[in-house]
Amino acid sequence: MADFSKQWCEINDSEMPWDFDILEVAEQLYPNSWMSYICEGFGFTIIAKDENGDIILGFPNFDWPDYVTNGVIKYKTYKEVIDGSI
C-alpha cells in the first residue's frame, strides 16, 4: 500500500486523503535523528533533522558510482522538496 504525505497531497491532489504529516513526524525528532517514513509521492524514505534541527528528507540513491562513494541516501532540505526543487 502506498503512503502519501499531507504536504504532497496538498500540492498535487487536495482531494486525496493523506497518511502522515511530515511536520508532525519531524516534531518528534531530536537534532541528528531520523525516522523511516515512505512518501510515494515525493519519493523519500527518511524524515530526519540535521545537527541544527532543520528538517531533511532522505531519498534512495541508486546512481552509480554515487551508490558506492556516497552511501545509499541523498538528503534534501524540506524546503527544497516542498518548493519542487527535487
Q: Higher confidence at residue 71 or residue 6? A: 6
Question: Torsion over CA of 59, 26, 38 and 78, rounded to 10 degrees?
Answer: -40
pLDDT over threshold 60, residue 69: no
pLDDT (0 to 100) of residue 72:
79
What residues contact residue 74 under an 8 Å CB cut-off, 6+ apart?
Answer: 58, 59, 60, 61, 66
Taking residues 59-84, report their average pLDDT: 79
pLDDT in tens, 1-42: 679 999 999 999 999 999 999 999 999 999 999 999 999 999
**DSSP 8-state secondary structure symbol assigned to residue 29:** P
Rounded to the nearest 5 percent, the helix, strand and coil shares of the chain are: 25, 25, 50
